[in-house]
Amino acid sequence: MTYVNNWCFKNYKRKCSLEVIFLLDSSESAKTDLFQQEKMFVLRFSTRLSMLQIKGISLNIRMAALQYSSSVSIEHRFVDWVDLDSFQGKINTMSYIGQGTFTTFAITNATQMILQETKTEAVRIAVLMTDGVDHPRNPNVITAATEAKRNGIKFFTIGLSDVALQRESREKLQAIASPPPERFFHLLDDRLLVEKLMSISMHSIVGWALPCRNHCAVECIQNPLELIFVIDSSESVGPKNFELIKDFVNTLVDRTTVRWNATRVGVVLYSNINVVVVNLKQEATADEVKDFVRNMEYLGQGTYTGSGIEKANLEFEAARPGVRKVAIIITDGQTDQRDSVSLESAVTKAKANKVEMFVIGVVNESDPNLEKFKEELNFIASDPDEEHMFLIKDFDTLNGILLPGTPERTGNNGKLPFWEEGDDLTFPEDFKRVQIVVRIKSFL
């Protein structure tokens, strides 16, 4: 942990904004009695939220609501927030619509309202109530939900009836919900629903607001970091080794203070196409990043490293001003000449934008193109190369890099391949932790 003058500002209350929007299903399939139950749930949950207090955190809570059917009716905006009574008054007077179910329109309206009326650093939560059965002409709801979550919105999905437990509906609602689904997908008739949502909401607030990773409710100042993993998912990697890469990334995420005001993590997957698994703007927690990584699908085509790095360049455009930017590229082969983005242009752009490039290369000593591959890795790695490039003989060696349980300062015990006697490691903070893949002499 990095401190300013080695101390924390004790007795300092961190200010945290909690913005919650309720999306009530007012469609024909929801029926009048279920709509009344939705309203009662909103009244109970909003009452509990208004009383929420967390030691060391000064909470500013606002709530909004909309109902949806074939159209969307915005009942209360964040900017109109005065107090709980006025908000609940709007809920009480809502009238049932009773037409088709167009959940996508509800999500896009809620996303737009959140982005326009709340601050980026706020804890943003959307509570969607539905039975999971949409009108046949409803646009793709998963796409809308994915875009909302990419903008840092936490999604709860609340199933209204047993229909939500049917396979197709359940899978849809779990896909809409934030990961993991066992925390963010629930049923309206659950007697402990309000308690469960309160607990998870508190966890989200603490996760955002306390950068010290402790329970002392003390504000600590530390060096923030923007970290993006650029992962080769080409044919030469293979499904088995791809799982080892996932383990490596998640282990490193566990060793990093992942939080909106500390280290933000992004993941780019590349082969002949690029997939942004998680971006910096999502400000995902460590658990969320690991869930996204676990669910990555192996691509298994060409090695378009230039395109992968260029995609990371685009993601770094969302970096916080003045914050250090780091990319960790993991690859096992030369870039494919069919790549429309040249490796030279992508790497040059990254370094011009002050992105520090670490590269982990899995090398095959019998490969006739080995020297050319090493030259490519040297070109990708930031200077000095010996501190930014790490070569391993196979993917099984990958997780050995992390040296689980290594103390803050270590000598030769458990040394890595290619290390010389006398090499020393220090990684007392996040930015040094990402350097455990290379020789670390000094930093910051």
Q: What is the value of pTM for the model shown? A: 0.52
Q: How far is 164 from 170, CA to CA, in rounded Å?
A: 5
Q: Identify whether residues 264 and 147 lie together within a single domain.
A: no
The reply to whether 55 falls in a domain is yes
Q: How far is 363 from 334, CA to CA, in rounded Å?
A: 10
Higher pLDDT, 48 or 7: 48
The reply to whether 74 falls in a domain is yes
Among 179, 209, 239, the domain-final residue is 209
Give strand pairing partners of 390: 360
Higher pLDDT, 12 or 334: 334
Q: How far is 110 from 88, CA to CA, in rounded Å?
A: 18
Q: What is the pLDDT of residues 129-180, one digit of tens each?
A: 997 788 999 999 999 999 999 888 999 999 998 888 888 889 999 999 988 8
Given pLDDT bands bounded at 50, 70 and 90, which one contains residue 14?
low
Q: Identify whether residues 205 and 229 lie together within a single domain.
A: no
Q: Identify whether residues 205 and 230 lie together within a single domain.
A: no
Q: Identify whether residues 229 and 204 lie together within a single domain.
A: no
List phi, psi (to 5°) of 7. -145, 160
Given pLDDT bands bounded at 50, 70 and 90, which one contains residue 204?
low
The reply to whether 273 falls in a domain is yes
Query: How many separate domains does the chain show?
Result: 2
Q: Identify whether residues 186 and 251 lie together within a single domain.
A: no
Write the CA distances from 283 to 26, 54, 130, 262, integer angstroms. Answer: 32, 21, 26, 10
Task: Tell whether the model's pLDDT for residue 215 goes beyond 70.
Answer: no
Q: What is the pLDDT of residues 32-72, one digit of tens each?
A: 789 999 999 999 999 999 988 877 778 899 999 999 999 99
What pLDDT was estimated at residue 164?
A: 84
Higher pLDDT, 111 or 247: 111
What pLDDT was estimated at residue 339?
A: 92
What pLDDT was estimated at residue 283?
A: 87
Please, what is the end-to-end C-alpha distance for the chain in angstroms? 13
How open is the CA angle 225-227-233, to the nearest 5 degrees?
175
Among 209, 238, 270, the domain-final residue is 209
Q: Identify whether residues 162 and 288 lie together within a single domain.
A: no
The whole domain housing 398 covers: 225-437
Given pLDDT bands bounded at 50, 70 and 90, which one contains residue 402?
low
What pLDDT was estimated at residue 393?
A: 82
How many C-beta atoms lie closer than 10 Å to residue 373's C-beta? 20
Q: Identify whether residues 401 and 285 lie together within a single domain.
A: yes
Query: What mean pLDDT do residues 196-225 have?
Result: 57
Q: Identify whether residues 71 and 186 lie together within a single domain.
A: yes
Q: How far is 406 from 426, CA to CA, in rounded Å?
A: 10
The reply to whether 323 falls in a domain is yes
SS (H, E, C) the chain: CCCECCECECCCCEEEEEEEEEEEECECCCHHHHHHHHHHHHHHHHHHHHCCCECCEEEEEEEEEEEECCCEEEEECHHHCCCHHHHHHHHHCCCCCCECCCHHHHHHHHHHHHHHHCCCCCEEEEEEEECCCCCCCCCCHHHHHHHHHHCCEEEEEEECCHHHHCHHHHHHHHHHCCCCHHHHEEECCCCCHHHHHHHHHHHHHHHHHCCCCCCCCCECCCCCEEEEEEEECECCCCHHHHHHHHHHHHHHHHCCCECCCCEEEEEEEECCCEEEEECHHHCCCHHHHHHHHHCCCCCCECCCHHHHHHHHHHHHCCCCCCCEEEEEEEECCCCCCCCCCCHHHHHHHHHHCCEEEEEEEECCCCCCCHHHHHHHHHHHCCCCHHHHEEEECCHHHHHHHHCCCCCCEECCCCCCCCCCCCCCEECCCHHHHHHHHCCCCCCC
Can you give the CATH number for the domain in which 176 is found? Answer: 3.40.50.410
Q: Identify whether residues 129 and 29 lie together within a single domain.
A: yes
What pLDDT was estimated at residue 152?
A: 86
Give strand pairing partners of 54: 57
Q: How far is 259 from 152, CA to CA, in rounded Å?
A: 12
What pLDDT was estimated at residue 114?
A: 96
Given pLDDT bands bounded at 50, 70 and 90, which one contains residue 15?
confident
Q: Identify whether residues 276 and 142 lie together within a single domain.
A: no
Write the CA distances from 100 to 29, 140, 281, integer angstroms. Answer: 8, 15, 33
Task: Tell whether the model's pLDDT for residue 220 goes beyond 80.
Answer: no
User: What average pLDDT does the chain have?
Assistant: 81
Q: Identify whether residues 237 and 187 lie together within a single domain.
A: no
Higher pLDDT, 58 or 381: 381
Q: Identify whether residues 152 and 184 lie together within a single domain.
A: yes
Given pLDDT bands bounded at 50, 70 and 90, which one contains residue 19?
very high
The reply to whether 218 falls in a domain is no
What pLDDT was estimated at residue 412?
A: 30
The reply to whether 380 falls in a domain is yes
The reply to whether 4 falls in a domain is no
What pLDDT was estimated at residue 416?
A: 34
The reply to whether 199 falls in a domain is yes
Give strand pairing partners of 327: 228, 357
Task: Tell whether the model's pLDDT for residue 374 goes beyond 80.
Answer: yes
Among 209, 243, 271, the domain-final residue is 209
